[in-house]
Chain A
Amino acid sequence: MSSDPIKHSLATQNLTKAFGGVRAVDNATVSFHEGKINALIGPNGSGKTTFFNCVTGMIRPDSGTVTYQGRDVTGHAPHRIARAGLGRSFQLCRIFPRMTVLDNVLAGVRSTGLVHRLRGAHNPDDIARARELLARVGIEHLERSEARDISYGQQKLLELAGVLMAEPDTIMLDEPAGGVNPALIGRIATLVRELNAEGRTFVIVEHNMELVMSLSDHVVVFDRGRPIASGAPADVQNDPRVLEAYLGV
């Protein structure tokens, strides 16, 4: 394995999480390619979101390990994992509804120490960075609006801007194209490509196969809580195990 040129910044070993009798994630050993756009696909209920939650610390796994950039982060609090450089979005877009668009992004500022934390949130440095990110996702004209007042698609873009504010190396997106119109899907795909070209690793859960196949470099297919196939998009697409899982043939 030492000759393997592919680097794995994020990996799990025998990760398991059961809810009652249901093993949502079942002994999953997965690794994602650093600097690439990785996709995690699978039928509904195959454990993708639970896997996401275990990796990002939102749920404590029953057993197994999660390593990020060589460090064991299993069971760490979500904020520690986030600060280690792993950012995430949520399946049903989650923003801070009663805060302004600008404050939503400012909430992602990485703070250290008491003095740093007592600095005004609306300081020129943070605001300049937040505006830059809002401009990047194309919603800078909405910065004063309350986040609950903007459209769902704009909220998705806002969520991404907030995640970027925390300066993650790896970004996990849970269904970025879910419930948004085709034009916006195109915009999100372009953003992901640009951010990836700047060196960020992506792990994307997505049901839109067209998007997955055109966007990703590496695909992992989940079924019943564990990976059943992985590889380049074209290879995975024709894998009989994948067809069986999806179509039952």
Chain B
Amino acid sequence: MLSASRHKTATHQEGRTSSGRSVLVAKLVAAAVALGLVLAFPALAPDPFILSVGVVIASYAALAVAWNFVGGMTGYISLGHAAYSGLGGYGTALLVTEAGVNPWVSMIVAAVLVGVAAVPIGIASLRVRGASFVIVSIALVLILLLVAQSWSDVTGGSNGLRVPRPFGTDVLRPEQHERFFYLFVALTLVALVLWWVIDRSRLGTGLKAIREDEDKAQALGVPTFAYKLVVFVVSAFMTAMAGGMYALWFGSLDPIFQFSILTGSYLVLMSLLGGVRSLLGPVVGAVIVGYAVEFFKTQYGDTQLHLVALGLLLALVVLFMPDGVIPWVTAQFDRFRPGDTSIREVDAAQLAEERKALEEAKS
């Protein structure tokens, strides 16, 4: 009985490996095609407006992947990630305008500072779980909004803060959009590589265990608090990088948009929509939500109807694809593949034959 089940497992796994390889090839081809399309986008875009929408979507993709370090891996849902993108933006702008630092160096230095600031913030906020963590994350962004609005000597308050263009005035708007599109795509790729490295590591397994059952993970010896803090800081750093890059691209910062709960909510929606457990989930979500936001805005103008439309979109996702688009699509493909735990019935003669073949293959 035992050897029969072992034998079944062995043949089953061999079958899986070959189908696993073809799936991998299919995935690589799909990824190459997708990357090719992304890189060709500036050339394909019919006008500078569409190109600028592409930049916005690419910036959302970088932000959503950065958000997913915490949200996807640990299951801690932060609605206040605009705090880190906003701080990254203001940090970059102030370093450029007040200290005369090179814009790209400013962006990195500001992100490092935000990463350092994220340590005490993480120590304070990661003590609470679930809804309490969500509230704490919102509180932070609201505090920063008030500070940025009131401290107008430094931030320019509601008048905004102007950031000089990093490429000089002789680079025209469309070309500036194109360059920033590639920069945001590169930043997204860096974030994806980092996410992938962590996801497949022992650290990543510990983080996923935290997402599933934090007490149980701790009882197994996973230093849960330290693990959460590490990805929290990485997430804040990457978010600040995207925020700084946005400041350099957009050229003007206003607290109401930089420290907005709406931005944080968009990131949550994007990641949930694409699938928080998958590498590319937030990117797919950013493309769909980013496009939808811009589309609804042009359709409904300055009214708040685009928010209603987004709310409906979120409701649909939660109802019909609770795990997100990518897992949903994968599940549709998996329907046509043999199941992982199929219990195949074999009679004694068949079994003896298969076992003989296996022994022969061994010798």
A78 touches B209 (CB 8 A): no
Closest Cβ–Cβ distance, residue B197 to chain A (whole Å): 7
Q: Which of A82, A96, A110 contacts B208 (CB 8 A)?
A: A96
In the complex, A239 has a CB within 8 A of chain B: no
Q: How far is the CA of A6 from the CA of B277 in the complex (A)?
A: 50
| CB-nearest residue of chain A to B197 | A118
Q: B92-100, B215-223, B264-272: which lies at the A interface? A: B215-223
Q: How far is the CA of A98 from the CA of B327 in the complex (A)?
A: 13
| Interface residues on chain B, size class | 20 to 34
Known contacts A119-B202, A141-B8; A96 and B213 CB within 8 A of each other: yes
Known contacts A141-B5, A142-B341, A145-B341; A82 and B219 CB within 8 A of each other: yes
Q: Which residues of A contact B215 (CB under 8 A)?
A: 58, 78, 94
Q: Which residues of B contact A149 (CB under 8 A)?
A: 341
B200 touches A120 (CB 8 A): yes
B216 touches A90 (CB 8 A): yes
Q: Which of A95, A98, A117 contacts B202 (CB 8 A)?
A: A117
Q: Which residues of B contact A83 (CB under 8 A)?
A: 221
In the complex, B334 has a CB within 8 A of chain A: no
Per-residue CB proximity of A219-245 to B under 8 Å, as 1/0? 000000000000000000000000000
Q: Which residues of A contact B201 (CB under 8 A)?
A: 117-121
Q: Which of B9, B200, B202, B340 contacts A111 (CB 8 A)?
A: B202
B221 touches A108 (CB 8 A): yes
Within 8 A of B (CB), among A118-150: 118-122, 126, 140-142, 144-145, 149
In the complex, A77 has a CB within 8 A of chain B: yes
Within 8 A of B (CB), among A81-117: 82-83, 87-88, 90, 94-99, 103, 106-111, 116-117
A99 touches B208 (CB 8 A): yes
Per-residue CB proximity of B286-317 to A under 8 Å, as 1/0? 00000000000000000000000000000000
| CB-nearest residue of chain B to A144 | B340
Q: Is the interface of B mostly helix, strand, loop or mixed?
A: helix
Q: How far is the CA of A91 from the CA of B252 in the complex (A)?
A: 57
B202 touches A116 (CB 8 A): yes
Closest Cβ–Cβ distance, residue B276 to chain A (whole Å): 11
A79 touches B212 (CB 8 A): no
Closest Cβ–Cβ distance, residue A137 to chain B (whole Å): 13
| CB-nearest residue of chain B to A143 | B9
A107 touches B200 (CB 8 A): no
Known contacts A108-B221, A166-B221; A103 and B5 CB within 8 A of each other: no
Within 8 A of B (CB), among A42-88: 56, 58, 77-79, 82-83, 87-88
Closest Cβ–Cβ distance, residue B253 to chain A (whole Å): 35
Closest Cβ–Cβ distance, residue A189 to chain B (whole Å): 19
Closest Cβ–Cβ distance, residue B34 to chain A (whole Å): 25
Q: How far is the CA of A121 from the CA of B196 in the complex (A)?
A: 12
In the complex, A163 has a CB within 8 A of chain B: yes
A122 touches B200 (CB 8 A): yes
| CB-nearest residue of chain A to B203 | A117
Q: How far is the CA of A116 from the CA of B205 in the complex (A)?
A: 13
Q: Which residues of B contact A166 (CB under 8 A)?
A: 220-221
Q: Which of B197, B203, B213, B223 contacts A79 (CB 8 A)?
A: B223
In the complex, B91 has a CB within 8 A of chain A: no
Per-residue CB proximity of B215-249 to A under 8 Å, as 1/0? 11111111111000000000000000000000000
Closest Cβ–Cβ distance, residue A142 to chain B (whole Å): 6
Q: Which residues of A contact B205 (CB under 8 A)?
A: 99, 103, 106-107, 109, 121
In the complex, A162 has a CB within 8 A of chain B: yes
| CB-nearest residue of chain B to A84 | B221
B340 touches A107 (CB 8 A): no
A98 touches B218 (CB 8 A): no
In the complex, B206 has a CB within 8 A of chain A: yes
Closest Cβ–Cβ distance, residue B298 to chain A (whole Å): 39
In the complex, B160 has a CB within 8 A of chain A: no
B212 touches A99 (CB 8 A): yes
| CB-nearest residue of chain A to B323 | A98
Closest Cβ–Cβ distance, residue B23 to chain A (whole Å): 14
Known contacts A96-B209, A149-B341; A109 and B202 CB within 8 A of each other: yes
B203 touches A118 (CB 8 A): yes
State the B residues within 8 Å of A (CB).
5-6, 8-9, 16, 197-198, 200-206, 208-209, 212-213, 215-225, 277, 340-341
Query: Known pairs A90-B219, A118-B198, A166-B220. 6 more at Cβ < 8 A?
Result: A77-B218, A77-B223, A108-B220, A109-B202, A111-B206, A163-B220
User: What are 21 A-B contacts defined by CB distance under 8 Å?
Assistant: A58-B215, A58-B218, A79-B219, A79-B221, A87-B220, A94-B215, A96-B213, A99-B208, A103-B208, A107-B208, A109-B205, A111-B203, A118-B201, A121-B200, A140-B6, A140-B9, A142-B341, A144-B340, A145-B340, A145-B341, A163-B220
